[in-house]
Amino acid sequence: MHNTSTNSKQMKSHCPTLAILSFTILITFNHSQAKRTQPISEILKIDQFPNTKKQWMNHHVQSQETQPQLSAPVVLSGIFCFIAASISSAGGIGGGGLFIPILTIVAGLDLKTASSFSAFMVTGGSFANLICNLCINSTKFGGKSLIDYDIALLSQPCMLLGVSIGVICNLVFPEWLITIWFAIFLAWSTFKTCKTGVSHWKLESEEARRNGFGKVENGLVRNGNCGGSEGVNSTQEPLLGREGKCKLGIPWMKLGVLVLVWCSFFAIYLLRGNRYGQSITLVEPCGVGYWVLSSFQIPVAIIFTAWILQRKESLQDQTSNSQDVDDQTRAKLPNKLFFPMMALLAGILGGVFGIGGGMLISPLLLQVGIAPEVTAATCSFMVFFSSTMSAFQYLLLGMEHTGIALIFAIVCFAASLLGLVVVQRAIQEYGRASLIVFSVGTVMALSTVMMTSFGAFDVFRDYTTGKYMGFKLPC
């Protein structure tokens, strides 16, 4: 009981740090030099300060003519991003919901530059997670990798398709509608995630008292089961066969299929380009060819998902013929279409809100009973594929300031490693896997407050200036 109270105090000790970080960022908002753009994650010009508006506008025009450099605001934003990346890495989410506001508020970058930097930063952080998770085989899950490749296989094609659909919806829907949806969904997800974290914490404390120890021996999960969490059992019937594994335990066939999915969508993005005419081909922006190439994503996602599901069913039939399967356990597993539909929903919402799908898919996995360690590792694995696609697109379409972007990526790489080490040590020492859930909840709470506030200011400015606030065409 003494150690339990100590653990609670240690968790509470992080609250002042998070509060100071959030308060500092909000204060800095009044001095930001961010360029006003449309999506919810962007920063508006503050018209409530008439005495400083003219001076701010003159400085803003000058800042558009200069390139980002390692100035004091950029260094300060790097420090904030370091803290944000270390917190996000523990939950396996990208952290783009924090990076973009920090870069636009503190560093004064315009949204286009901040978004490109964020893609590199998320890639750096997810790459650190990927290295650690590939090299770790958890004894708590029978010596298996924490990454659930089956969930990634079922989710990745539909998630990439959902992001494309969500981006189109972001262009069509009015800002006030997006802001309301964002606030409601993220607030609900944050509440459910924190509630899940509290449940895990109570179960871990109960397990500790039952064992007579001050810490949970090898965590709460015993024999791959965490309070009825059967989601990890999906690895018992692997997709695409029981192929041989390398020394690191990497299932090369599954990884190869994921790379093939990545390359297929990446090729479509490159051939299509964006609506501003940036493309490696001569496709007319928003023309017939543009929309035809965009529609190719639908059959690609359906074909990959259907093939993976067919392979899973055939392997399940072979398993049922060779060994007895517990019908009760199988009945508790999610429906075979659950993960693709969940990923499609997360991708659409991520595209609409302008944030990564990892922040949305992580709480959904936790809600269906996937263990926190598996959720974090699997989400970071999926985020790596989506973030690298964005980063490569920015590079091939003529991104500027790649040097500073790489510096930020290295910062997030180091921060993610530090965050992973600290959290893993805490889990091993105290058996508190719920720390991962609280990390996800913290990032979601900060993102909800910051991005909803910016969206609300943006909507208010549009209203006061008489700007059109209805539905728009995608082009």
In the prediction, which pLDDT does 143 show? 72
Query: Measured between alpha carbons, how far is 77 from 73 in angstroms, rounded to an integer?
Result: 6
Lookup: tokens for 175: 């800002």
Work out the mean pLDDT of the chain and round it to a whole number. Answer: 76
What proportion of the chain, given as a percentage, has pLDDT over 90? Answer: 28
Q: What is the pLDDT of residues 314-364, one digit of tens each?
A: 776 665 554 443 443 333 446 778 899 999 998 898 888 877 677 888 888
pLDDT tens string 112-155: 788 889 889 999 999 999 998 887 777 677 677 889 999 999 99
Short-list 370, 412, 364, CA closest to 387:
412
Task: Find the angle CA(237)-CA(142)-CA(197) to the nearest 5 degrees.
Answer: 90
What is the reported pLDDT for 91?
A: 85
pLDDT tier at 212, thresholds 50, 70, 90: low
Whole-angstrom distance, CA of residue 154 vs CA of residue 164: 18
Is the pLDDT at 50 greater than 70, yes or no? no
The predicted structure's pLDDT at residue 308: 92
Which residue has better confidence, 330 or 466?
A: 466
Mean predicted confidence (pLDDT) in 178-200: 91
Q: Residue 304 carries which side chain, given as an amino acid letter?
A: F
**256-270 pLDDT, tens digit each:** 999 999 999 999 988
Burial class (CB in 10 A: 0-12, 13-18, 19+), 115: buried
By CB neighbour count within 10 A (0-12 exposed, 13-18 middle, 19+ buried), where does 244 fall? exposed
Dist CA 366 CA 194 (whole Å): 11
Contact 442, 29 (CB under 8 A): no
Q: What is the pTM of this model?
A: 0.72
Residue 69 in tokens: 């450099």
Residue with tokens 């506030």: 453
Burial class of residue 68, CB neighbours in 10 A (0-12, 13-18, 19+) = buried
Coil/strand/helix, residue 207: helix
Contact 110, 35 (CB under 8 A): yes
CA distances from 276 to 22, 272, 290, 418 (A): 35, 11, 11, 39
pLDDT of residue 15: 40
Report the pLDDT value the prediction gives residue 257, as an integer from 0 to 100. 93
Would you give the DSSP letter of residue 39? S
Stronger pLDDT, 217 or 71, i.e. the higher one = 71
CA angle, 112 then 445 then 91, to 5°: 85
- Round to whole Å and give the CA distance between 240 and 217: 34
Residue 268 and residue 281: Cα distance in Å, rounded? Answer: 11
**Cα(465)–Cα(154) distance, rounded to whole angstroms?**
46
Convert the pLDDT of each residue in 357-396 to its tens digit.
778 888 889 888 899 989 999 999 999 988 898 888 788 7
C-alpha to C-alpha distance for 302 and 66, rounded to whole angstroms: 45
Structure-model confidence comparison of residues 171 and 437, the more confident one: 437
SS3 305: helix
Helix-helix angle 175-211:338-353, to 10 degrees = 130
Measure the CA–CA gap between 89 and 81, rounded to whole angstroms. Answer: 12
Least confident of 36-40, 82-86, 200-204, 434-438: 36-40
Q: Phi/psi at 6 (nearest 5 deg)? A: -65, -40
Strand partners, 222: 225
Q: Exposure string (b/e) for 124-161, b if CB count within 10 Å is 16 or more? A: bbbbbbbebbbebebebbeebbbbbbbbbbbbbbbbbb
Question: At residue 271, does pLDDT exceed 90?
Answer: no
Mean pLDDT of the 423-441 span: 88
Region 268-277: mean pLDDT is 80
Q: Which of 41-50, 341-350, 387-396, 446-455 has the lowest mean pLDDT?
A: 41-50
> Where exactly are the structural domains of the chain?
2-464
Read off the pLDDT of each residue in 265-294 and give the average, rounded to a whole number.
83
Q: Residue 317: CB partners within 8 Å, gap ≥ 6?
A: none
Greater model confidence, 6 or 268: 268
Alpha-carbon torsion 110, 44, 98, 8, what sign?
positive
> At residue 226, does pLDDT exceed 50?
no
3-class secondary structure, 138? strand
